[in-house]
Amino acid sequence: MSEIIISCDSSCDLSKELIERYNIKVSPFSVLLGDKQYHDGVDITPDDIYEYHKKTGNLARTAAINMQESLEFFNSVRTDDTPIIFITISQKMSGTYQYASLAAKELKNVFVVDGENLSTGGGHLVIKAAELAKSGKTPEEIVEILNETKKRVNASFVIDSLEYLRKGGRCSTLASLGANLLKLKPCIEVRHGEMSVGKKYRGNFANVLKEYTAAVLADKDNIELDRVFITHAGANEKLVNDIAEQVKNSLPFKEVLITRAGATVSVHCGANTLGVLFIQKTAL
């Protein structure tokens, strides 16, 4: 069959190398610093966001990719009716899925998938889609497989400081846990398209990450070994590499991929954040 264009929004946090390797087309989120608008991965970096917060005390904001932007994106990545599969951040976190779905109704052969995830949780699905397309699957078959696979994506992050999440109000569960949570380093889990608080850790961030990594990889027989992402938002390089070694020593993954969270995700989590994300064999 003809080529299938695999695309996603910029919250997938895939590295430039992976985007090029799998020929992924990426639609950027808008990031707002005060009244100035930028585009994730184009003209703003996570470090710009942290510097803005440091100088002003204010958080950057993100804006969903609206219907017009979705239409323009779809038209920009093809010149004919070549099928497009577009994988979005969870619709429970953003209006991007709804806007993209409306845009798809105006066009032919555009398939929009709610990834029910964020960051490289969605990145797993994007790469899966690219591999399926290369193997000759039809768009309909790929969408069906993605909708099953997304229920098995194990995505979580440990956050050193909750300032960004607390100010941004992105995880409503935080409010119910009270001020004591600010002394903890919680694991933020993505389950069924929503963020929730999992295990709560105490102590040195490096030790916490080692404990967290051991915990998420504990059910070894239930983990697919094709690839694992270690995604961080600007954590210390040695710390990231130490976690990568721990992951490699825990399970024989075919690929251990280290990526840095882009501007969209970094707006909500702050710099010292790290997650180990993989696909498991059974649904969450």
DSSP 232-261: ESS--HHHHHHHHHHHHHHS--SEEEEEE-
Distance, in Å, from the CA atom of 49 to the CA atom of 33, rounded to the nearest integer, reads 8
Q: Taking residues 193-210, what's their average pLDDT?
A: 91
pLDDT at 59: 85
- Nearest CA-CA partner of 77 in 44, 110, 30, 115: 110
Q: Taking residues 147-169, what's their average pLDDT?
A: 83
Distance, in Å, from the CA atom of 61 to the CA atom of 51, rounded to the nearest integer, reads 14
pTM, full prediction:
0.93
Tell me which of 70-84, 160-174, 264-278 is least confident. 160-174
Q: Taking residues 121-133, what's their average pLDDT?
A: 98
Angle separating helix axes 67-76 and 96-105, nearest 10 degrees: 60
Q: What is the CATH number of domain 152-279?
A: 3.30.1180.10
Sign of the alpha-carbon dihedral angle for 108, 111, 112, 118? negative
DSSP 104-168: HHTSSSEEEEE-S--THHHHHHHHHHHHHHHTT--HHHHHHHHHHHGGGEEEEEEES--HHHHHH
- If pLDDT is split at 50, 70 and 90, which confidence band does 165 have? low
Tell me which of 58-72, 86-100, 178-192 is least confident. 178-192
- H/E element, 279: strand 273-279
Tell me which of 153-167, 169-183, 214-228 is least confident. 169-183
pLDDT at 51: 92
Mean pLDDT across the chain, nearest whole number? 91
Tell me which of 63-72, 85-94, 100-109, 263-272 is least confident. 263-272
pLDDT over 90, % of the chain: 77
pLDDT at 283: 97
- Nearest CA-CA partner of 119 in 143, 141, 100, 93: 93
pLDDT at 21 over 70: yes
pLDDT at 167 over 90: no
Q: Where are the chain's structural domains? A: 5-150, 152-279
pLDDT at 269: 77
For 204-254, the pLDDT digits (tens) are 999 999 999 999 999 999 999 999 999 999 899 999 999 999 999 999 999
Same fold, 5-150 and 152-279: no
Write the CA distances from 247 to 211, 244, 255, 256, integer angstroms.
12, 5, 11, 8
pLDDT at 196: 85
pLDDT at 182: 58
Pick the CATH number of 5-150 from 3.30.559.10, 3.40.50.720, 3.40.50.10170, 3.40.640.10: 3.40.50.10170
pLDDT at 1: 40
pLDDT at 110 over 80: yes
pLDDT at 179: 41
